[in-house]
Structure 1
Amino acid sequence: MRINDSLSKLTLRNMCAGQTERAIEIAWRNMGLTSCDASVIPGVAFFDSLVRSVTSPGQARSPLQVTQILGNLFFFLKVWDPATLQCSTTTSLSTLASCATVPFPDNLISPSSRIKLRAAFGFAVE
């Protein structure tokens, strides 16, 4: 097994274990490697994993914490997988919003941040 394959597998294992923030750290450090990039682990996988993590039972987080976590994820995805955040028109959804398997965590974010974060990730602004 090549080292790059091991890094991708380690990143995925962390995501599956609900340790998305750790997975992002690994991905940041190894971003230049060809088997540790968005073609191997798409941005939507990080989004789904992170939302599952912050919405799981026993993960009580304040709206400020969830807003900060999603903000950090947004900036990571702008570098890791910018195409996943793009919308083809001002009324269309991003690839991330179209492909996410979990809903946007509206109930965990303050109303003042919700609109901005939904728009940043390419979800419909409600």
Structure 2
Amino acid sequence: MRINDSLSKLTLRNMCAGQTERAIEIAWRNIGLTSCDASVIPGVAFFDSLVRSVTSPGQARSPLQVTQILGNLFFFLKVWDPATLQCSTTTSLSTLASCATVPFPDNLISPSSRIKLRAAFGFAVE
């Protein structure tokens, strides 16, 4: 049990340090452990951390890179915390979109990908 607790702490430390992709790698490797799952680290925490990381000053990324990073996050969340992506109706927001503390990074994604990714994460499609 102590090891699992350490894994959650390591995952959270990586997220706080802006190393969300590393945190996702740790989470993937330990996905079956009960103290390192969505009840401990919800999907919205990964989303917020990742968006903060790609929008931080000094993080020059192309629209293609940001699209790939968000696509990878989406597939991770489909396994890690699928409930956070679900919308109760076709016009409602997902739990992730409702609880995110950062806005969707529209300005970093090409218009053609933006609509698909906003819909995939359960944000309103503009």
Q: Deviation per CA, 1:54-109: give whole Å up to 9, x if none.
A: 00000000000000000000000000000000000000000000000000000000
How far did residue 42 of structure 1 move?
A: 0.0
Partners of 1:34 and 1:44 lie apart in 2 by 18
The aligned counterpart of 1:66 is: 66
How far did residue 52 of structure 1 move?
A: 0.1
How far did residue 27 of structure 1 move?
A: 0.1
- In the TM superposition, structure 1's runs of 4+ consecutive aligned residues that sit over 3 Å from their partners are none
Partners of 2:27 and 2:84 lie apart in 1 by 16
Alignment length (residue pairs): 126
Q: Residue 14 of structure 2: SS of its match in structure 1?
A: helix
How far did residue 43 of structure 1 move?
A: 0.0
How far did residue 37 of structure 1 move?
A: 0.2
Q: Residue 93 of structure 1: SS of its match in structure 2?
A: coil
Partners of 1:86 and 1:34 lie apart in 2 by 22
Partners of 1:5 and 1:52 lie apart in 2 by 25
Q: Residue 25 of structure 1: SS of its match in structure 2?
A: helix
Percent identical across equivalent pairs?
A: 99
How far did residue 28 of structure 1 move?
A: 0.1
Alignment TM-score, normalising by the size of structure 1: 0.99
Name structure 1 gaps, 5 residues minimum. none
Name structure 2 gaps, 5 residues minimum. none
Partners of 1:30 and 1:113 lie apart in 2 by 30
Query: In the alignment, is residue 82 of structure 1 matched against residue 43 of structure 2?
Result: no
The aligned counterpart of 1:92 is: 92
Q: Residue 69 of structure 1: SS of its match in structure 2?
A: helix
The two structures, once aligned, show a CA RMSD in angstroms of 0.6
Partners of 2:38 and 2:66 lie apart in 1 by 24
Partners of 1:92 and 1:118 lie apart in 2 by 13
